Structure 1
Amino acid sequence: MGSAKEAPRRVIAVTGAARGIGLAIAERLSATGNRIAIGDLDAAAAVAVAARLPGEAAGFPLDVTDSASFRSFLDAVEAQWGPIDVLVNNAGVMWVGSFDEEPEQATHRQLEVNLHGVIRGVRLTAPRMRARGRGHVVTVASAAAKLAPPGEATYAATKHGVYGYLSAVRAELRGSGVELSVVMPTVVDTALAAGTSSGAVAMLTPDDIAKTVAAVIARPRFEVTVPRYVNPLVRVVGLLPDALRAALYRRMVPDQVAALSENRSARAQYERTAVTAEDRPGER
């Protein structure tokens, strides 16, 4: 009796992978025999993470807000292992609070990491994949790509932008052999979500997202929400009259301004280091 077909061994590059969701993704994908490139603003942490992964892995410095840095990251990975099969755009930051109190620096940082960082990753990686007729870019976005929680105005804008950008690029790449996927989770228990509320749904774990990313790589599809029911629920609610839709959203979607008033100290350290500081250890 023949043995079960083994999953292909891939070269997978993950951004923001020294902690949080990115780390969970790297751990899960490494355990199944893939070669994992850990890209992170905190280069020392990236190297340390790679050293303790169960499979073949390497850590690299990566600033997703800098095109030269992103290009150097991709070049270094390909020099070590050959063409990248999968890029996981994971790096992200979030400032929480009233829209009119958001510091300009926080607005800029979110746009640069969350939106422009994804655009850079796709623009620099997808043409390489298209040239050889295969490849996959998976972006970890947020349910905020479909919803807009109070207190996350700019963050939601970046995630809406990511969804729109990927939708357009996907149309351009149709038939090229390059797959695009966007994973949109609700609130995940990481430093990024410190002090926030998960609303009507249970808070997710980083490994919940890692499992989803692994499944999407194994069986590509464009958009996946976590939990899965979020996307169809948003579509149904979107058909309702405005007043009823707004009332349901108030029950479903967490008000992060209200949550912050009770948990401001829980976010202070994260936002100082990841969003508003000049010397940052990394994202997510």
Structure 2
Amino acid sequence: MRRMTKAVAITGASSGIGEATARRLAADGHSVLLGARRTDRLRRLVEEITDQGGTAAYRALDVTDAADVRAFVDAARCEFGRLDVLVNNAGVMPLSPLDAGRIDEWDRMIDVNVRGVLHGIAAALPAMRAQGHGHIVNVASVGAYEVSPTAAVYCATKFAVRAISEGLRQESAGALQVTLISPGVTESELADGISDPTARDAMATYRSVALPASAIAEAIAYAVAQPSTVDVNEVIVRPAASAQ
């Protein structure tokens, strides 16, 4: 049976889980619009996807800017004629102990990890409700279920994404699909933004066993592939060799 192809917009698509998801969904025949700040990477990724026969486009995107996210959703609709799936993947993780007082980093996590998701939902919901279907995929973390030292603020943002996803699911029953994907430690550039030495050393140990980003892309592809009558609510993906 031929799988239905969908129009998908992905935030944070220039590396890591976002990049892997773009490749995986395009390989499945879906059309993908990729958004991130690093447009040089997006351009190369789109060229690779199209060279392999896929359908892809890109747009510069700052998820902390609500108007920019609205324009991103509008671009997907202009490019593909509709928006079936929004993958809210953009995120940052500058960990530090609370007593380090890195308020700027805390604010950045709240702006990207929480407000960015809300901006995506606010932009996509009207279009999806008007067309009578849609799927919001929010990428959280195992940090949405547990808290560890140096990760209090990061985990708080991911707890928030989990709560927002569940609220959206309940409000949209029968109208939209809502999926929360929560990766365990995964190969990505997230840890590169850790400036606090204590947190950086702890993360190096924590990341000694890590999933490839493609493993998370597979989970997202599974959820996206489901018909509108099936709602995959929450998926937690951890390395088999790790308790975390």
**TM-score, normalised relative to structure 2:** 0.87
- Over the aligned positions, Cα root-mean-square deviation in angstroms equals 2.0
Partners of 1:17 and 1:39 within 8 A in 2 = yes
Partners of 1:187 and 1:198 within 8 A in 2 = no
Q: How does 1:112-123 map to 2 (within 5 A)?
A: 112-123=111-122
Partners of 2:24 and 2:217 within 8 A in 1 = yes
1:46 shift after superposition:
1.6
Residue 223 of structure 1 corresponds to: 234
Residue 179 of structure 2 corresponds to: 181
User: What residue ranges of structure 2 are gaps of 5+ in the alignment?
Assistant: 193-199
| Runs of 4+ residues deviating >4 angstroms | 197-201
Task: Describe the superposition over 1:88-147 as per-residue Cα deviations: whole angstroms up to 9, x where unpaired.
Answer: 010000012211114111011000000110011111102211222211011111010001
Larger mean CA deviation between 115-124 and 99-108 belongs to 99-108
Partners of 2:185 and 2:207 within 8 A in 1 = no
Residue 205 of structure 1 corresponds to: 212
Residue 168 of structure 1 corresponds to: 167
Residue 130 of structure 2 corresponds to: 131
Q: Distance in 2 between matches of 1:203 and 1:228?
A: 6
SS in 1 for 2:170: helix
Q: Distance in 1 between matches of 2:177 and 2:129?
A: 10
**1:141 partner amino acid:** A
Q: Percent identity among equivalent residues?
A: 35
1:81 shift after superposition:
1.0
Residue 81 of structure 2 corresponds to: 82
For the pair 1:190 / 2:156, whether they are aligned, the reply is: no
SS in 2 for 1:156: helix
Larger Cα-atom Rg? 1
Residue from 33, 36, 45 that aligns with 1:49: 45
1:201 shift after superposition:
9.2
Q: How does 1:65-76 map to 2 (within 5 A)?
A: 65-76=64-75
Residue 140 of structure 1 corresponds to: 139
Q: 1:214 to 1:198 in 2, by over 3 A?
A: farther
**TM-score, normalised relative to structure 1:** 0.75
Q: Distance in 2 between matches of 1:117 and 1:37?
A: 17
For the pair 1:13 / 2:9, whether they are aligned, the reply is: yes
Q: Distance in 1 between matches of 2:38 and 2:32?
A: 17
Q: Distance in 1 between matches of 2:212 and 2:88?
A: 18
Q: Distance in 2 between matches of 1:169 and 1:20?
A: 26
SS in 1 for 2:3: coil
The number of residues matched between the two structures is: 227
Residue 221 of structure 2 corresponds to: 214
